[in-house]
């Protein structure tokens, strides 16, 4: 079946009707679907591990920890906190609205589109890429369309299959496909769009959203420097850098370290420590290591090879550099003293080339996750995911008493004087004005 603009419009219309029915707003509906996500990843762990092995040669341990474990924690936090998140927040009123009470009510936005990336399709560990924002949108009471990346076909197909089985398909849908399908979706009017990926596509998403004044969240890439002081534990530092760089999809993660900043005298010691720990992690022939993910596609392999073959850096390799195009594998590679105007220093690497801890801040559900400038806009994660897909509606409650004529025409000098004191918050002045006291 061809998914074109007409099909996309029909899908959005159907979902909007279902949202307008109010079925997704109840606590019971929301919590049942968060529970369903939790059951899904527990019951289908083997399928998830196999899909990521197929797409990325991902080591099972990484999938279990970085995908399933973190996502389960996200669901459990949502289950525990959702009732509190949904509770209206009391707000103060003023003498101007007396007698009254007020509250801020978190309301769902409506029909949400999540366009995810391929490197962490099941969780937020690096960008919250597919299911974490979907959980946030559902917890907030929205209906959702998820568009997974075609670059990871096994994961995309599995997401479509599992969400079809575990979710209410009248309110949660998956659309597979590539550029044509994404374009068809972006032509529609959404109530919020979340996109994870690169800046080039991010601009396309933003331009499409602007036509409908649709608010967006962009999780984009960028350069990720790691600053290393000379007064550190070298062994621990090297292990943490390696884990953050090559333990996260072999560098294919937007928070993976891109380059290291350290002192010139300390750099050789750090390089030696990294070499030692890299061999401890992945052996003397890392291209054969089962603990190292492969590059996701031949196009990305060619892009990374171009960065390495740049004549400004090709002589700066101090470790690694081996490649196997047939297996889409590139060994962990260290480059030293790379010129700032080289390709590798001007583009996001998103691969196994490198120049406190790394990455782990992403598992802290009390932190917002989001970028600024070229790295994106907006944030989500835990409660911040709920907030990202929620409108904070201001509600003022007033009865029919104390409906003084002061706010209505004709506007006399006495009314004007009284209104000025009201606006200024001068309670005594209001009383004086009302009773004519000097």
pLDDT at 401: 80
Spatial contact of 149 and 163, defined as CB atoms under 8 Å apart? no
245 and 210 in one domain? Answer: no
pLDDT at 366: 65
Strand partners, 225: 259
Spatial contact of 190 and 214, defined as CB atoms under 8 Å apart? yes
pLDDT at 128: 43
> Could you report how far apart the first and last alpha carbons of the chain are, in Å?
81
322 and 293 in one domain? Answer: yes
258 and 171 in one domain? Answer: no
In angstroms and rounded to an integer, the radius of gyration of the C-alpha atoms of the chain is 27
pLDDT at 275: 92
Q: Could you check whether the bond before residue 410 is cis, i.e. omega within 30 degrees of 0?
A: yes
165 and 151 in one domain? Answer: yes
pLDDT at 246: 81
261 and 169 in one domain? Answer: no
396 located within any domain: no
234 located within any domain: yes
The domain total for the chain is 2
401 located within any domain: no
Global pTM value: 0.82
Residue with tokens 């960065």: 307
125 located within any domain: yes
pLDDT in tens, 97-148: 778 899 999 999 999 999 987 444 444 333 346 788 999 999 999 999 999 9
321 and 207 in one domain? Answer: no
List Cα–Cα distances, 167 to 170, 173, 174, in angstroms.
Answer: 9, 8, 10
229 and 195 in one domain? Answer: no
197 and 84 in one domain? Answer: yes
428 located within any domain: no
By annotation, the residues acting in catalysis are 219, 254
The helix (run of H) or strand (run of E) holding residue 36 is helix 27-43
Checking DSSP bridges between strand 376-377 and strand 333-335, what pairing results, if any?
Answer: unpaired
304 and 286 in one domain? Answer: yes
pLDDT at 125: 38
81 and 64 in one domain? Answer: yes
How far apart are alpha carbons 161 and 345 in whole angstroms? 40
How far apart are alpha carbons 60 and 82 in whole angstroms? 31
236 and 138 in one domain? Answer: no
Checking DSSP bridges between strand 192-196 and strand 259-261, what pairing results, if any?
Answer: unpaired
413 located within any domain: no
> What's 270's domain CATH number?
3.40.309.10
How far apart are alpha carbons 279 and 292 in whole angstroms? 12
List Cα–Cα distances, 310 to 242, 316, 392, in angstroms.
Answer: 24, 10, 50
Would you state the structure tokens that stand for residue 276, as one six-digit string?
A: 């030692």
Last residue of a domain, one of 360, 380, 404: 360
Range of the domain at 273: 225-360
405 located within any domain: no
Mean pLDDT by 10 residues, the chain (438 residues): 91 98 97 96 92 84 81 92 96 82 96 77 46 94 94 89 96 95 96 90 94 93 82 90 78 78 89 92 90 83 87 85 90 88 82 63 65 74 86 90 80 82 66 55
Last residue of a domain, one of 360, 383, 417: 360
List Cα–Cα distances, 101 to 89, 362, 405, in angstroms.
Answer: 11, 39, 21
> What's 178's domain CATH number?
3.40.605.10
Q: How many other C-beta atoms lie within 10 A of the C-beta of residue 165?
A: 12
pLDDT at 134: 94
90 and 40 in one domain? Answer: yes
215 located within any domain: yes
């Amino acid at each position: 079946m061809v998914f074109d603009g007409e099909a996309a419009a029909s899908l959005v219309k159907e979902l909007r009707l279902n949202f307008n029915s109010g079925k997704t707003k109840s606590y019971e509906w929301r919590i049942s679907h968060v529970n369903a996500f939790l059951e899904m990843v527990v019951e289908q762990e083997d399928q998830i591990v196999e899909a990521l092995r197929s797409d990325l040669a991902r080591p099972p341990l990484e999938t279990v920890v970085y995908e399933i474990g973190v996502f389960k924690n996200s669901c459990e936090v949502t289950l525990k906190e959702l009732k509190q998140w949904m509770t209206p927040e009391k707000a103060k009123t003023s003498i101007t609205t007396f007698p009254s009470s007020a509250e801020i009510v978190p309301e769902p936005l409506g029909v949400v589109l999540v366009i995810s990336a391929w490197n962490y399709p099941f969780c937020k560990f690096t960008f919250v890429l597919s299911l974490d924002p979907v959980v946030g949108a559902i917890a907030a009471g929205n209906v959702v369309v998820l568009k997974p990346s075609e670059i990871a076909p096994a994961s995309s197909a599995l997401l479509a299959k599992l969400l079809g089985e575990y979710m209410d398909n009248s309110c949660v849908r998956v659309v597979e496909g590539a550029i044509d399908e994404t374009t068809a979706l972006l032509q529609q009017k959404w109530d919020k769009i979340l996109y994870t990926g690169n800046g080039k596509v991010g601009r396309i998403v933003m331009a499409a959203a602007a036509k409908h004044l649709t608010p967006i969240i962009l999780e984009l890439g960028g350069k990720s420097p790691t600053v290393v002081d000379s007064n550190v534990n070298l062994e621990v530092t090297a292990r943490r850098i390696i884990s953050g760089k090559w333990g996260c999809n072999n560098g294919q993660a937007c928070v993976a370290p891109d380059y290291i900043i350290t002192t010139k005298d300390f750099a050789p010691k750090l390089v030696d420590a990294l070499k030692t720990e890299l061999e401890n992690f992945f052996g003397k022939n890392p291209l054969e290591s089962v603990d190292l993910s492969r590059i996701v596609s031949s196009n990305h392999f060619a892009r990374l090879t171009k960065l390495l073959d740049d004549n400004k850096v090709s002589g700066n390799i101090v470790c690694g550099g081996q490649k196997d195009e047939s297996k889409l594998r590139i060994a962990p590679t260290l480059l030293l003293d790379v010129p700032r105007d080289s390709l590798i220093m001007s583009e996001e690497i998103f691969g196994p080339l490198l120049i406190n801890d790394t990455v782990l801040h992403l598992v802290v559900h009390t932190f917002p996750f989001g970028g600024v400038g070229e790295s994106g806009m907006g944030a989500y994660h835990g409660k911040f995911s709920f907030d990202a897909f929620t409108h904070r509606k201001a509600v003022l409650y007033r009865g029919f008493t104390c409906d003084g004529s002061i706010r209505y025409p004709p506007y006399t000098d006495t009314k004007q004087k009284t209104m000025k004191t009201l606006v200024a918050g001068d309670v005594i002045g209001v009383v004086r004005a009302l009773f004519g006291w000097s």
